[in-house]
Amino acid sequence: MAHQLTLTDFQPEDELLEQGGVAGVAVRLHQLGRFWIYYFAVLQQGSVIRAVRRELKAIRPGELLLNSEEEFGCPQSFPAKLCRDLDRLGIGSIDPFFAEDVLDGTLLECRLRPAGGALRHVQLFCWQESEDAQVRQVGDYLQELALSTIRRLRWRAFASRFWW
């Protein structure tokens, strides 16, 4: 069954990260030409760690149709591994990137709050056009997260306990 939502309805995890009290990563990938939005978040609140993946389709301006939503519990190592990977790639040192003269493309938005750390917010539009290799690497990593199937995400969560 499909539900109609606005953009703010489908990403409550973003607000939790903004307010503090939780640690984790939230990634939104918006394919402008196809009108699809892929969303992935993993949050840690105390000892509870929850991951969610959503696919949405824009049906009218400001209105979205929830195509799928999947959740799973994961080990504490998963959000820590994602934060560590993004730190290693240099997410804290890149500025927002927006390609010029591009009408259609892909917008990535990431909110990251490591356990006990400050919130970081990055936006990348058509990051493949950037001359900065670091921007391209962060964009590619975030795109892979956002587009991963739930099966792949569960595997990454499981494997995070062993590979740092």
Model confidence pLDDT, tens digit, residues 52-109: 999 988 887 777 888 999 999 999 899 989 999 999 999 989 999 998 887 778 999 9
pTM above 0.85, yes or no: yes
| Encoded tokens for 104 | 């259609």
Across residues 8-20, what is the average pLDDT? 78
| Contact of 51 with 40, CB cutoff 8 Å | yes
Q: What share of the chain is helix, strand, coil (3-state, %, to 5)?
A: 30, 35, 30
Domains of the chain: 4-159 (3.30.1560)
Q: What is the tens place of the pLDDT at every residue in 110-119?
A: 999 988 888 9
What is the pLDDT, as a whole number, of residue 4? Answer: 54
